[in-house]
Amino acid sequence: MAVLQILEFPDPRLRKIASGVTSFDSNLNHLIDDMFETMYEAQGIGLAATQVNVHKRLLILDVSENKDSPRVFINPTFDILDHELSEYDEGCLSVPGFYETVCRPRVIMVAAQDRDGAQFEFEAGGLLATCLQHEIDHLEGKLFVDYISTLKRNRIRSKLEKEQKNSA
Ligand code: GNR
Ligand code: NI
């Protein structure tokens, strides 16, 4: 297993649209294992393949308290079940150090495939629904900072650009 590098805003590679996963092979399983190691090491609750520069429709998450409920979603889609919005102070491993309130539909029905390609679906609410929508956005090249004001987003961009220059 390996800890992968996480791309940071405003890296243009975070804007790529991911393509569907078609082969459920050992390469995919290896990538999933590396993504879990990367997510747990970074203390994130979710990670999309886009963030590690793999532009495939794959995301992982673990929203459990004890970090003992790893979940994999391949080729995920969702329907909104409750248009009522819920607010959450969102963060992102690709936008380190910044948190902003984002509103998203409260309850969704998510459908996806597992590591073996088996289809599943279930209803998600709470943090799980928020996190799933955040991760699926990544697969579309979208970031939580796209939901806040241009002024705030530009401030975050310039702060991160400075940090990235200083650490390069
Ligand atoms: O670790 C993460 N925390 C988080 C908090 C609120 C809403 C979404 C998230 S996802 C984020 C990890 C990440 O960047 N996933 O793409
Ligand atoms: Ni994120």
pLDDT in tens, the chain (168 residues): 999 999 999 999 999 999 999 999 999 999 999 999 999 999 999 999 999 999 999 999 999 999 999 999 999 999 999 989 999 999 999 999 999 999 999 999 999 999 999 999 999 999 999 999 999 999 999 999 999 999 999 999 999 999 999 997
Gap from CA of 91 to ligand 2 centroid (Å): 7
Residue whose CA lies nearest to ligand 1 atom number 14 = 92
Q: Which amino acid is located at 133 in the chain? A: Q
Binding pocket residue ranges, ligand 1, CB within 6 Å: 44-48, 51, 88, 90-94, 130-131, 134-135, 138
Q: Are 14 and 6 in contact (CB under 8 A)?
A: no
What pTM was estimated for this model as a whole?
0.98
Beta strand spans in 58-129 (E): 58-61, 71-90, 100-113, 119-124
